[in-house]
């Protein structure tokens, strides 16, 4: 009887929780509808306004138009967190807007890759050609944020604030000891001495080849970092290098002493300076307009053009099937590429790649579609973002021209496979055992409850080696190289954009604007418009397709903020990559 009551009580609790969840889900949908279906009024830009840029959030390639992404419990006036494309578009718009007198760049943390920051920084430098000012101010300023701020005319710091300038480090996360304690063995197959994506499952530290490539990568991007800041702040390279190397900025006053900050002021004093720059008598009269609101202000009227350049945004892990909006699903992208190929008004294709790779099969499926587009005579240009490595490079290698930022992570031409042996975990940790009846020598090939035999291991390693050879041949064919040369710059090794330009894996340094201009010239276009692919899902359809997963993701984003990507990485651990993979080093964070 006691068990019966416990069962009934548990059922009641479960029903109650389900009811609460349903009410919460309805509440979120209702709020989202109110927020999302509000008339998106055209934002009024008052005379002598200052555009306020607060970029302290993970910046995607495209703005998420889903109103749920803007939901905030503290406000019903959630503004869109703009993607890189719209950030750049609005900076360009502000340069030609007579009502915008300058930009106020709010500094803080900046949880974004260096290539993303480079694109925005370059656009800010171009903005200054309009004769308008850029003023940067922060309280606690990370070195990535300072790199962006160094493009400003004036940089200010709170008198009790902190400026971080300490040099670069890269941290990789290793799971070998955890797997050992759980008695899980990662059976690994790889091709390429630098192919370090499986190292977190094999070692508790970096291998020497991996340490070598990461050191050389950091050395290159650090050199770019120092060179560009020194140029903007009118300093010598060695002078700034010494300041950073020795952590000379330890107190706010040090930042002024070494001329990295112009003055220590409080926010009200900053407002007074901005008011003076915009011709206001009092700080209270200062007109700020946020980037999110400015996005809704009218820009230059663009005439409709029939000729189009397609821009395909390939961002996230490369996965089999449809995938989700935050990754690159082969089926979804195959359909998008087919739509591009069948649209006679599309005269060129720009693929924006921001991916560390993933499934080898999915990468090959997409490369086939890209090749079909080229066969039709449509020029294909690749623009690389923060990362275009391994599978991300595979889908780029057939392009007519490859454009990367100097600090893009690219290359990692290599392959691996991984199959866990979880027999010890099931038996010794959970007390679960298995017994199998086999008809056929390999009928239980791939069983994760036992170790592989030597013959099975050889079969899988041969498969990895075969795909690595295909990878090298694809790159050789696409880039006009020999397979032997590709192997010499391959082996799973990562390169910066500058290094990749030197070894021929990249053609041009620059952002997506450069790539679009190249596409325009190759297609012989004068008048054109860009169209984005793949099409973004309807927000309601996306919510109901994903069920509770979408709501869970929204809550985690709100709670974790800049640490949300780390949570996603930890979620991936429950599905250790299976099958043959083309991925760059796992979970490498550059600080």
The DSSP-derived string for 523-584 is HT-SS-EEEEESPPPPHHHHHHHHTHHHHHHHHHHHHHGGGHHHHHHHHHTTS---SEEEE-
- Asked if residue 574 has pLDDT above 70, the reply is no
Q: Do 582 and 484 belong together in one domain? A: yes
Q: Do 287 and 361 belong together in one domain? A: no
- CA angle at 323 for the pair 320 and 326, rounded to the nearest 5°: 130
- Asked if residue 12 has pLDDT above 70, the reply is no
**Per-residue pLDDT at 281:** 81
Please name the residues in contact with 482: beta carbons below 8 A apart, sequence gap of 6 or more.
476
**Per-residue pLDDT at 171:** 85
242-256 mean pLDDT: 97
Would residue 374 count as lying in a domain? yes
| Alpha carbon of residue 296 to chain centroid | 25
Q: Do 276 and 410 belong together in one domain? A: no
What mean pLDDT, rounded, does the chain reach?
Answer: 86
- Asked if residue 223 has pLDDT above 50, the reply is yes
User: Of these residues, 390, 412, 520, 557, which one is catalytic?
Assistant: 390
Q: How confident is the model at residue 552 (pLDDT cuts 50, 70, 90)?
A: low
Whole-number Å distance between alpha carbons of 222 and 228: 10
Would residue 20 count as lying in a domain? no
User: Of these residues, 85, 93, 144, 195, which one is catalytic?
Assistant: 195
Would residue 222 count as lying in a domain? no
Would residue 36 count as lying in a domain? no
**Per-residue pLDDT at 544:** 53
- Asked if residue 578 has pLDDT above 60, the reply is no
Quick check: is 101 catalytic? no
Percent of the chain with pLDDT over 70: 80
Q: Do 160 and 260 belong together in one domain? A: yes
Would residue 42 count as lying in a domain? no
- Asked if residue 266 has pLDDT above 80, the reply is yes
pLDDT tens digit sequence for 44-69: 899 999 999 999 999 999 988 655 55
CB atoms within 10 A of CB 585: 26
Q: Do 281 and 338 belong together in one domain? A: no
Query: Of 236, 263, 294, which closes a domain?
Result: 294
pLDDT tens digit sequence for 478-528: 999 999 999 999 999 999 999 999 999 999 999 999 999 999 999 999 999
Whole-number Å distance between alpha carbons of 582 and 355: 11
Q: Do 330 and 288 belong together in one domain? A: no
Q: Do 284 and 380 belong together in one domain? A: no
Between residues 10 and 163, the one the model is more confident about: 163
pLDDT tens digit sequence for 403-448: 999 999 999 999 988 899 999 999 999 999 999 999 999 999 999 9
**Per-residue pLDDT at 561:** 56
Number of domains in the chain: 2
Whole-number Å distance between alpha carbons of 492 and 143: 29
**Per-residue pLDDT at 297:** 85
Quick check: is 195 catalytic? yes
**Per-residue pLDDT at 38:** 46
Q: How confident is the model at residue 538 (pLDDT cuts 50, 70, 90)?
A: low
- Asked if residue 70 has pLDDT above 70, the reply is no
pLDDT tens digit sequence for 352-379: 999 999 999 999 999 999 999 999 999 9
Whole-number Å distance between alpha carbons of 322 and 345: 26
One-character DSSP codes across 379-409? -EEEEEEEEEETHHHHTTTT-SEEEE-TT-E
Q: How confident is the model at residue 582 (pLDDT cuts 50, 70, 90)?
A: low
Q: Indicate the pTM of the whole model.
A: 0.85
Q: Do 419 and 478 belong together in one domain? A: yes
Would residue 529 count as lying in a domain? yes
Q: Do 290 and 332 belong together in one domain? A: no
- Asked if residue 17 has pLDDT above 60, the reply is no
Query: Of 294, 318, 349, which closes a domain?
Result: 294
Among the residue ranges 11-25, 442-456, 497-511, 541-555, the one predicted with the least confidence is: 11-25
584-590 mean pLDDT: 54
Whole-number Å distance between alpha carbons of 270 and 285: 13
**Per-residue pLDDT at 565:** 56
- Asked if residue 556 has pLDDT above 80, the reply is no
**Per-residue pLDDT at 389:** 95
Would residue 267 count as lying in a domain? yes
- Asked if residue 396 has pLDDT above 90, the reply is yes
Residue 134's domain is classified under what CATH number? 3.90.226.10
- Asked if residue 334 has pLDDT above 80, the reply is yes
**Per-residue pLDDT at 282:** 84
- Asked if residue 284 has pLDDT above 90, the reply is no
Domain that holds residue 282: 49-166+247-294
- Asked if residue 554 has pLDDT above 80, the reply is no
Q: Do 375 and 321 belong together in one domain? A: yes
Whole-number Å distance between alpha carbons of 526 and 43: 31
266-289 mean pLDDT: 92
Whole-number Å distance between alpha carbons of 511 and 403: 7
Using alpha carbons, select from 372, 370, 392 the residue that is nearest to residue 383. Answer: 392
Query: Of 261, 294, 327, which closes a domain?
Result: 294
**Per-residue pLDDT at 530:** 95
Q: Do 160 and 275 belong together in one domain? A: yes
- Asked if residue 239 has pLDDT above 50, the reply is yes
**Per-residue pLDDT at 173:** 87
Would residue 571 count as lying in a domain? yes
**Per-residue pLDDT at 417:** 87
Among the residue ranges 218-232, 469-483, 533-547, the one predicted with the least confidence is: 533-547
Among the residue ranges 109-118, 140-149, 302-311, 551-560, the one predicted with the least confidence is: 551-560
- Asked if residue 462 has pLDDT above 90, the reply is yes
- Asked if residue 21 has pLDDT above 50, the reply is no
Q: Do 264 and 377 belong together in one domain? A: no
Percent of the chain with pLDDT over 90: 71
Between residues 39 and 176, the one the model is more confident about: 176
Is 412 strand, coil or helix? coil
């Amino acid at each position: 009887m006691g068990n019966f009551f416990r069962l009934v009580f548990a059922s009641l609790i479960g029903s109650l929780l389900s009811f609460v969840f349903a009410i919460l889900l309805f509440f979120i949908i209702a709020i989202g509808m109110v927020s999302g279906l509000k008339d998106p009024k055209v934002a009024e830009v008052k005379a002598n306004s200052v555009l306020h840029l607060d970029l302290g959030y993970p910046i995607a390639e495209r703005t998420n138009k889903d109103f749920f992404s803007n939901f905030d419990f503290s406000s019903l006036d959630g503004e869109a967190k703009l993607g890189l494309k719209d950030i750049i578009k609005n900076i360009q718009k502000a340069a030609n807007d007579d009502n915008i007198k300058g930009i106020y760049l709010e500094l803080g943390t900046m949880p974004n890759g260096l290539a993303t920051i480079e694109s925005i920084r370059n656009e800010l430098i171009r903005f200054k050609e309009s004769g308008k000012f850029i003023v940067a101010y922060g309280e606690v300023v990370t070195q990535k944020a300072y790199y962006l701020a160094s493009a400003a005319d004036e940089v200010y710091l709170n008198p009790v604030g902190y400026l971080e300038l300490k040099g670069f480090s890269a941290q990789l996360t290793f799971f070998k000891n955890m797997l050992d304690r759980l008695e899980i063995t990662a059976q690994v197959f790889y091709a390429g001495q630098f192919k370090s994506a499986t190292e977190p499952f094999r070692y508790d530290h970096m291998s020497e080849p991996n340490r070598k490539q990461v050191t050389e990568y950091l050395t290159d991007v650090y050199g770019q970092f120092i060179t560009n800041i020194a140029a903007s702040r009118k300093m010598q390279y060695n002078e700034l290098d010494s300041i950073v190397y020795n952590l000379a900025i330890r107190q706010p006053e040090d930042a002024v002493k070494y001329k990295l900050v112009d003055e220590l002021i409080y926010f009200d004093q900053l407002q007074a300076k901005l008011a003076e720059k915009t011709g206001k008598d009092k700080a209270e009269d200062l007109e700020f307009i946020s980037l999110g609101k400015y996005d809704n202000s009218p820009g230059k009227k663009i005439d409709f053009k029939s000729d189009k350049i397609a821009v395909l945004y390939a961002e996230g892990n490369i996965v089999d099937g449809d995938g989700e909006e935050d990754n690159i699903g082969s089926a979804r992208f195959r359909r998008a590429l087919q739509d591009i190929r069948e649209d006679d008004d599309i005269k060129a294709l720009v693929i924006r790649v921001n991916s560390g790779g993933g499934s080898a099969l999915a990468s090959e499926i997409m490369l086939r579609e890209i090749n079909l587009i080229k066969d039709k005579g449509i020029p294909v240009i690749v623009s690389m973002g923060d990362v275009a490595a391994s599978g991300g490079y595979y889908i780029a290698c057939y392009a007519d021209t490859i454009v990367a930022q100097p600090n893009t992570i690219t290359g990692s031409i290599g392959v691996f496979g991984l199959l866990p042996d979880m027999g010890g975990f099931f038996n010794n940790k959970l007390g679960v055992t298995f017994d199998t009846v086999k008809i056929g020598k390999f009928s239980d090939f791939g069983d994760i409850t036992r170790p592989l035999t030597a013959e099975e291991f050889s079969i899988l390693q041969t498969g990895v080696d075969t795909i690595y050879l295909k990878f090298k041949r694809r790159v050789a064919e696409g880039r006009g190289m020999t397979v032997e040369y590709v192997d010499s710059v391959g082996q799973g090794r990562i390169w910066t954009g500058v290094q990749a330009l030197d070894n021929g894996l990249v053609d041009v340094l620059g952002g997506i604007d450069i790539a679009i201009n190249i596409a325009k010239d190759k297609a012989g276009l004068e008048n054109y418009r860009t169209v984005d692919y793949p099409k973004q899902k309807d927000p309601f359809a996306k919510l109901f397709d994903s069920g509770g997963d979408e709501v869970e993701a929204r809550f985690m984003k709100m709670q974790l903020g800049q640490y949300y990507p780390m949570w996603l990485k930890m979620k991936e651990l429950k599905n250790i990559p299976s099958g043959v993979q083309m991925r760059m080093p796992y979970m490498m964070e550059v600080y």
